[in-house]
Structure 1
Amino acid sequence: MLKFTEAGHIDPELLMNPFWVESLSQVSPEHTHDFYEFFIIREGTCRHVANGQTQLLKPGCLVFMRPSDIHKYERLGDEDCRFLNIACRYKAVEQALAYLDEPAFKEGLLSGAEPPVALLSQLEMLDVVRHFERFLLLATLDKIKARLYAKGLLTDILTQYFLKPDNVEKPDIPLWLEQTLSQMQLKENLLGGLQALYRLSGRSVGHVNRAFRQYLQQTPTEYVNQLKLNIARNLLLTTEWKVVDIALESGFDNVSHFYHQFKKFYHQAPLDFRRNAAK
């Protein structure tokens, strides 16, 4: 049985090591490891055999591997598979779980017979991939900032995709809504806020509001605020900017409103978030 180690897979100055697996012909035979690991299927399908259980994976499947999970990948017929693999230091994930301070969630995440799997929409999948690619860029420029970014990223992934009562498959998002969400990722549109979202959709306000509830389980206002807060979080982790400058850069005209929304979403004030991430 192969056993991979942190020392052999993760830069000692970093908390994680994301890398692309372009084909199942590149994967290792059945193995285990002493670190945590995520992987997300980008293209194709495969059979994932973990701890004697078989999981059928498709694009958007985000898998959370625990230390000592034993697993391997198998082809489904002639299908091949491309995925992003992220080896994470044991201590980094444990610190993220300790920060969340949800014992029942941690127990459920770590004690199941099979590795937990979250099914992401195409946009969610692209967002996760983008964040890890951002980490890779930072790792080449400033390893301290890369470590800070990794801490926030681990916490976000655990809360957004695994801290749920279940991981039921979501209905397919209509093309017009998917295109709107994609366009809202552009800074010039995001700074336009809610009105820009409605304009880009080409639908009535009521139609858009109902679609957000149905497909995203949130309001358009909550979605726009979340996008802005993601920008603010990244700036807090990777720059030394003042909070007022970060608020304005993230699209918040009112600093008091920014503080309120940030604390509501992250359960701590912006500067506390920066200080805690640096520990």
Structure 2
Amino acid sequence: MLKLLAANGIDSEIQAHYRLIASVGDTVGMHTHDFYELFLILKGSVVHVINGKGQLLQENTLVFIRESDVHYYERTDDCDCQFINLSFQREVLDDLIAFLGEGFPSERLLGPSMPPAVLLSRTEKEYVRYRLDQLSLIPQEKKLIVRAEVRAILTDLFSRYIKAEADHMDLKGVPEWLRTLCNEAGKKEHFTQGTAALVGLSGKSHAYVCRMFRKYLAMSPTQYINELRMAYAENLLLNTDMEIVDISLEIGLDNVSYFYDLFKRRHNLMTPHVYRQFGNIRR
């Protein structure tokens, strides 16, 4: 079986390689490798055969491939597929896991027989494409700058999308009360009221709720609520003409500066105003 080596295709200084694959016909057959990959399907669909199982992947799917995975691509009967591929060395992932710390579910990414595959919304797909496209704008001779940008992008995408999918893949041990609480928290009338409302819904102590969120979801109740708030704010920015200050109030934040801070942390320093402009341009 073919084994692709980082030494033959990845610049040792950049530690990553970015490319646009225009057709399934441009891919190799069954193979494994000694590096990791992220790929994003831009158009069409593809049968991804990995570790002996076939997956039908559609447009907007983001997939993480581990170095031990054995895979190849087959064209579907209906259409071809175009996707972006970012390959990166083992050291890059090791550093990323170390940076994100013990709360990052690395064992749930690397252990299961099947890797995580995340179906993104159209807006999320365009955001991921925008982030990856930044690599093509940096002169390749500026290798250390490209290397730094690769790590910034991977930190963003893993913490935003891949981690969430890993958490979703490992919900078997989550207590039923916590599942119910998370479902209730997703309702606007609850997440806009903040953490106090979440704890009140649980019927349990604040300290206990915090421990359980850390144990099962690897985040605090406040972080969970703010993720819901930001997701709702993104929808309002793209689909309404509401003023940003009104959106902040709508999601339960009367401190607009805090809203900006949360939003920029989630979107790699992109402000709500720029996010709205970017979303409108991509439509």
Instruction: Determine if the TM-score, normalized by the shorter chain, exceeds 0.5.
Output: yes
Choose the corresponding residue for 1:166, options 168, 189, 214.
168
CA drift at 1:7: 1.3
- Output one character per residue of 1:218-269: Cα deviation in whole Å (capped at 9) or x when no partner: xx988754553467659xxxxxxxxxxxxxxx69xxxxxxxxxxxxxxxxxx
- Cα distance in 2 between the residues matched to 1:138 and 1:182: 32
Alpha-carbon contact 1:24-1:80 (below 8 Å) kept? yes
Report if the CA contact (8 A) 2:41-2:61 is conserved.
yes
Structure 1 CA distance for aligned equivalents of residues 139 and 13 of structure 2: 9
| Correspondent of 2:264 among 217, 228, 237 | 228
Give the unaligned 5+ runs of structure 2: 170-233, 273-283
Q: CA deviation at 1:136?
A: 2.4
SS at match of 2:40: strand
TM-score, reference length from structure 2 = 0.63
8 Å contact from structure 1 (residues 45, 81) kept in 2: yes
Distance 1:54 1:181, change over 3 A: same
Percentage identity across paired residues of the two chains: 31
Structure-1 separation of matches of 2:238 and 2:146: 27
Q: 1:22 to 1:232 in 2, by over 3 A?
A: closer
2: CA distance, partners of 1:48 / 1:221? 44
User: In 2, distance between residues paired with 1:83 and 1:221?
Assistant: 37
1:181 to 209, 217, 238: 238
In structure 1, the partner of 2:18 is 18
For residues 114-135 of structure 1, give each alpha carbon's deviation from its aligned partner in whole angstroms, at most 9, with x where no partner exists. 1211121111111111111112
In the alignment, what sits opposite 2:188?
A: none
User: Corresponding residue for 1:72?
Assistant: 72
Structure 1's unaligned 5+ residue stretches are: 168-176, 185-191, 199-204, 211-219, 235-249, 252-279
- Please tell me the residue identity of whatever aligns with 1:79: C
Q: C-alpha distance in 1, partners of 2:268/2:130? A: 16
Per-residue deviation at 1:10? 1.1
What is residue 42 of structure 1 aligned with on the other side?
A: 42
Amino acid aligned to 2:14: L
SS in structure 2 of the partner of residue 113 of structure 1: coil
Query: How big is the shift at 1:64?
Result: 0.4
Distance 1:151 1:93 in 2: 9
> Per-residue deviation at 1:193?
7.5
Q: Which amino acid aligns with 1:16?
A: A
Q: What pairs with 1:70-109 in structure 2 (closer than 5 Å)?
A: 70-102=70-102, 105-109=105-109
Q: Distance in 2 between matches of 1:56 and 1:128?
A: 21
1:2 aligns with 2:2: yes
Inter-partner Cα distance in structure 2 for 1:179 and 1:103: 30
CA drift at 1:52: 0.5
TM-score, normalising length: structure 1:
0.64
| Contact residue 156 and residue 268 of structure 2 kept, 8 A | no
- The one-letter amino acid paired with 2:20 is W
**Partner in structure 1 of residue 244 of structure 2:** 194
Task: Name the SS of the counterpart of 2:67 in structure 1.
Answer: coil
Structure 1 residue 142: deviation in Å? 2.4
The question of whether the paired residues in 2 share the 8 Å contact of 1:17 and 1:86 is answered with: yes
Calculate the aligned-residue CA RMSD, in Å. 3.6
Q: In structure 1, what is the equivalent of residue 198 of structure 2?
A: none
Query: In structure 2, how many angstroms separate the alpha carbons of the residues matched to 1:24 and 1:131?
Result: 23
Shift of 1:6: 0.8
Where 1:13 maps in the other structure, the secondary structure is coil
